[in-house]
């Protein structure tokens, strides 16, 4: 029996910062796939908080999935962007799950947070890992990294708003695209497709009512932005055609969301660097045989993300000035 077995639903939900799993540099290892939006949100947190030296990482290939699940390349050059399993040189991701619990019967998903000291999985729930990485290594950041130490994606002053948006954005958009895309009846597809677009409408309305919001909740970058980004950056690129979400596109039908997406990609350092469109598009198009049996990866849209214009930059400068002015009167 492992010391810390998974829960009944096949997830590990242990916490960094607890007595069993204290924060220590290079004690833990992160496993991700660049294609997965849930792993991507954790990767963004690690990148933006500057935790690379404290939390090393291994990256599975985007395909194939059949015949054993997600797997690692035999060398780092085999599939650019993927890496070998730096800890155990495993062939498959499922090897880690069985290494942690030999009787495990659940799914093999990323992200995975591994403890090298006790040789087991700590957590494989993306939101948990995001929130742990948000604060748990702050004391280890160098003295000159004040901005990263103060960067808080789940601040107490915005927590109620974050939780409220999470309550409908997560099931209806972040997970909703999958319910539409993997629907097995016309009725289920249409119902879930409508839910996805009504959620996009709701987010577009929110931003249009707050035209000077650089981020979803104003001038503060929060976990809502990270969760929304990892879905929207995949929307036009693959979800729209692969999951039959053809009612509209972000770039043509949602101007405020589109500008927000461009700002995240081009202006938030670390976001573009963690976004790999080859991994994203080839994962969906080459690992869902029931959806795309010939495994042809579509071209387009071109470019993947439209450029940041002078008009966009003027909007950003005005929004920042307004935010600074508001802070000065607080």
What residue spans of 210-276 are helical by DSSP H?
223-234, 240-242, 250-253, 255-267
Q: What are phi and psi of 90, to 5 degrees?
A: -65, 155
- Cα–Cα dist 45/35, whole Å: 16
Tokens of 183: 């629907």
CA Rg, the chain, in Å? 20
Q: Which residues are catalytic?
A: 36
Beta pairing partners, 28: 115
Cβ–Cβ under 8 Å, residues 15 and 132: yes
> Quick check: 223 and 153 in contact, CB under 8 A?
yes
Q: Residues near 83 by Cβ (< 8 Å), separated by ≥ 6? A: 57, 58, 59, 72, 73, 76
> What is the Cα–Cα distance from 249 to 231, expressed in whole angstroms?
13
- 43 by Cβ neighbours in 10 Å (0-12 / 13-18 / 19+) ranks as buried
Alpha-carbon torsion, ordered 186, 188, 189, 193, to 10 deg: 140
Q: Are 137 and 56 in contact (CB under 8 A)?
A: no
**Three-state secondary structure of 260-301:** HHHHHHHHCCCCHHHCCHHHHHHHHHHHCCCCCCCCCCCCCC
- Alpha-carbon distance of 270 to 22, in angstroms, equals 27
| DSSP element (H, E) containing 131 | helix 126-135
How many residues are there in the chain?
330
């Amino acid at each position: 029996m492992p010391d810390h077995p998974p829960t009944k639903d096949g997830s590990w939900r242990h916490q960094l910062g607890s007595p069993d799993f204290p924060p220590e540099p290079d004690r833990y290892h992160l496993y991700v796939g660049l294609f997965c939006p849930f792993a991507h949100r954790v990767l963004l947190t690690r990148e933006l908080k500057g935790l690379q030296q404290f939390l090393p990482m291994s990256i599975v290939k985007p395909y194939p999935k059949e015949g054993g699940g997600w797997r690692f390349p035999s060398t780092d050059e085999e599939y650019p962007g993927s890496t070998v399993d730096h800890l155990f040189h495993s062939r498959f991701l499922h090897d880690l799950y069985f290494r942690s619990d030999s009787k495990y019967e659940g799914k093999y998903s990323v992200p995975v947070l591994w403890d090298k000291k006790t040789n087991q999985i700590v957590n494989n729930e993306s939101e948990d890992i995001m929130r742990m990485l948000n604060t748990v290594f702050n004391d280890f950041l160098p003295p000159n990294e004040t901005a990263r130490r103060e960067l808080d994606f789940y601040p107490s002053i915005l927590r109620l708003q974050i939780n409220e948006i999470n309550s409908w954005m997560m099931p209806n958009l972040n997970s909703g695209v999958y319910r539409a895309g993997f629907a097995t009846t016309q009725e289920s597809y249409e119902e879930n497709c409508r839910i996805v677009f009504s959620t996009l409408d709701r987010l577009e309305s929110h931003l249009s009512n707050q035209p000077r919001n650089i981020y979803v909740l104003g001038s503060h970058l929060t976990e809502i932005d990270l969760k929304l980004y990892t879905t929207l950056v995949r929307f036009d690129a693959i979800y729209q055609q692969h999951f039959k979400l053809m009612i509209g596109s972000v770039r043509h039908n949602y101007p405020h969301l589109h500008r927000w997406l461009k700002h995240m990609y081009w202006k938030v350092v670390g976001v573009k660097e963690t976004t790999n469109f080859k991994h994203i598009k080839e994962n969906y198009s080459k690992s869902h045989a029931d959806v795309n049996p010939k495994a042809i990866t579509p071209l387009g849209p071109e470019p993947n993300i439209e450029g940041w214009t002078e008009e966009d930059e003027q909007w950003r400068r005005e929004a920042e000035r307004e935010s600074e002015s508001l802070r000065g009167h607080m």
